[in-house]
Amino acid sequence: MSDSLERLIDSQKPILTPIWFGIEMSINKSTIKDYDDFSKVNLFFNPNSIAVVGASKHINKAGNVIFSNFAENKRRGIFKGEIYPINPKDESILGHRCYPSLTKVPGNIDAIVIVVPSKFVPDVFHDAGTKGVSVAIVITAGFGEIGNDELENEIKNIAKEFGIRVLGPNCLGVFDSYTGVDTLFLPETKVLKTGDVMVATPRPMQGNIAMVSQSGAFGAASLDYLTGRQIGISKFVSFGNKADVSEAEILHYLNHDDNTRAILLYIESITQGRQFMDVAKVVTKSKPIAVLKSGRTKAGARAAESHTGSISGASAVYDAAFSQIGVMKSDNMSEFFNIGKGLAFQPPAKGRNVAIITDAGGPGVMASDACELRGIDVKLFSDETINKFEKLKKKGILPNFVQNTNPVDLTGSATSEMFEEAMNIVVADNEINGIIIIGLHHVPAIQEDFVDRIGKVAAGTIKPIVACDIGETEMAFYVRSRFEKFGIPAYPAPEDTVQAMAALVWYGEYLKNSNCFDSYLDSFLTSSVNKVNMKK
């Protein structure tokens, strides 16, 4: 057994032992109770006033980008609180009066962002304590992750003395698409040497996925990816070294966040295993958590150790734990986002039998393969359903060469109306638990209204529906985004689409086994977040 695995198992023994014997774990209620007072954690996302310590006039400096984010969001009316730049060298920054230290600010300060070199951070915490600051986001690197535990402990102790909650250090902090908090020091645009301006780190639109990341760099890249894929987010949290606030506490907070429907979690290690297990087990009963856990191989674990100083531990240990508590593991980045989008947009499946409707034979076969490989059934339709298709053929509504045994292949003669007819039939079939649309836009009679017709039928069912259109040019982008306007997650490959459906099947089974499928479905269908997604 490797040294790191031994350490991991040792640190998690009380939790992991029952898993090996398949015994239901008990929930440590005290952990959850500890996190029940959100009043301070909420200030990371929704402060009435925030100061940026190390705000700078110099473009390209982290303190410049962060303060500019707040100034711009305030100007646009998105961030509604007070903002204070702190820097002893300046009188004003971006038109806002600048203060030499936190103690000189006249009003109250709920939150601070610290973006000064590490050696100054303890003094900033002393000032923050004197000023009565509630929460601090420490962007600065150079603490525990490089072995400087002494400095990290020093700020931890000062923070504890004054009751300041800390996110980081060594993190990107928070982006909240609803409140306009944006502590990311990565500029949204970059000016090329040619003078052209390019979007570099876009901020995603409002949505209902929360992205929580141990790695700031992957977190930032994922914002770029999510924006490009037009996936909105509620919150982004990069927690870095976790000197105080851990992933468990953030998960607990997000469980009570009305804007968050699904949680995406990137981690390299979990340091407080018991807390994580206790909290995640509760959260997954009401919100799905998809995890991408890296550091799964020897080389990956070594890289993680030098990245965040974390002990990654054995894959098998994590996999067993995740599956026990209903956390969905993904094997790679694209699966992570595919299933995140599926879970945020669609309700879980009541069973594992799906129907595939396509106008593209080959991709329909690819989807069928992918389903079977993931344990999803694509069973032959019942006689009743097959007869309904046959009747439509007799009436001339469907061509007689349409395949209607599952998959339904409408062929290259497909029309928008045929998709609607096929949808109506499979939605009415009680043996079908989910629907996969492989709707390629290339065939001649397909117009964009085929999506609207599918969307209309989808709005009347609680069965999960996912869609695929293959292509990287205009019409494919348009069709996929049109599906998503109806709350139907759409993907560029059959396999991606099936990953999303597999997650909805897996999560449905987990909820059923936990006796909370109906309550989850109820809250899914009635939640205000749902209005974003059209499935009313």
Closer to ligand COA by CB, 117 or 163: give it.
117
Tell me how far apart the alpha carbons of residues 430 and 408 are, in angstroms, rounded to a whole number: 17
Q: Tell me if 116 contacts ligand COA by CB under 6 A.
A: yes
Smallest separation, CB 44 to ligand COA (Å) = 16
Q: Tell me if 133 contacts ligand COA by CB under 6 A.
A: no
Tokens, residue 516: 């909370």
Tell me how far apart the alpha carbons of residues 106 and 42 are, in angstroms, rounded to a whole number: 23
Smallest separation, CB 268 to ligand COA (Å) = 13
The one-letter code for the residue type at 76 is R
Q: How far lies 151's CA from each of 54, 118, 168, in Å? A: 19, 8, 13
Q: How far lies 54's CA from each of 238, 284, 493, in Å? A: 19, 39, 46
Q: Tell me if 89 contacts ligand COA by CB under 6 A.
A: yes
Enumerate residues 53-82 that contact ligand COA by CB under 6 A. Answer: 53-54, 56-58, 61-63
Identify the residue among 29, 60, 104, 120 touching ligand COA (CB under 6 A). Answer: 120
Closer to ligand COA by CB, 104 or 379: give it.
104
Q: What is the 3-state secondary structure (H, E, C) of 249-304?
A: HHHHHHHCCCCCCEEEEEECCCCCHHHHHHHHHHHCCCCCEEEEECCCCHHHHHHH
Closer to ligand COA by CB, 94 or 141: give it.
141
Identify the residue among 31, 73, 87, 214 touching ligand COA (CB under 6 A). Answer: 87
Closer to ligand COA by CB, 238 or 294: give it.
238
CB 80 within 8 A of CB 49: no
Name the one residue in this structure whose structure tokens are 């020093």.
Answer: 154
Closer to ligand COA by CB, 51 or 321: give it.
51
Enumerate residues 438-467 that contact ligand COA by CB under 6 A. Answer: none
Long-range contacts formed by 69-74: CB under 8 A, 24+ apart: 69/182, 69/183, 69/184, 70/180, 70/181, 70/182, 71/95, 71/96, 73/180, 73/182, 74/180
Enumerate residues 170-189 that contact ligand COA by CB under 6 A. Answer: 170-172
Closer to ligand COA by CB, 58 or 76: give it.
58
Enumerate residues 200-229 that contact ligand COA by CB under 6 A. Answer: 216
Span from 111-119, 321-329, 432-440, 442-450 in contact with ligand COA (CB under 6 A): 111-119
Closer to ligand COA by CB, 151 or 446: give it.
151
Smallest separation, CB 174 to ligand COA (Å) = 12
Taking CB positions, which residue lies at the least distance from ligand COA? 216
Which is nearest to 156 in space by CA: 138, 183, 180? 138
Q: Tell me if 277 contacts ligand COA by CB under 6 A.
A: no
Name the one residue in this structure whose structure tokens are 């109906």.
Answer: 518
CB 499 within 8 A of CB 464: no
Name the one residue in this structure whose structure tokens are 């009316």.
Answer: 77
Tell me how far apart the alpha carbons of residues 27 and 497 are, in angstroms, rounded to a whole number: 34
DSSP letter at 462 equals -
Smallest separation, CB 527 to ligand COA (Å) = 32
DSSP letter at 54 equals T
Smallest separation, CB 88 to ligand COA (Å) = 6
Identify the residue among 115, 181, 355, 498 touching ligand COA (CB under 6 A). Answer: 115
Smallest separation, CB 290 to ligand COA (Å) = 21
Q: Tell me if 308 contacts ligand COA by CB under 6 A.
A: no
Count of residues near ligand COA by CB under 6 A: 27
| Positions that interact with ligand COA (CB under 6 A) | 53-54, 56-58, 61-63, 86-89, 115-117, 120, 124, 139-142, 170-172, 216, 238, 240
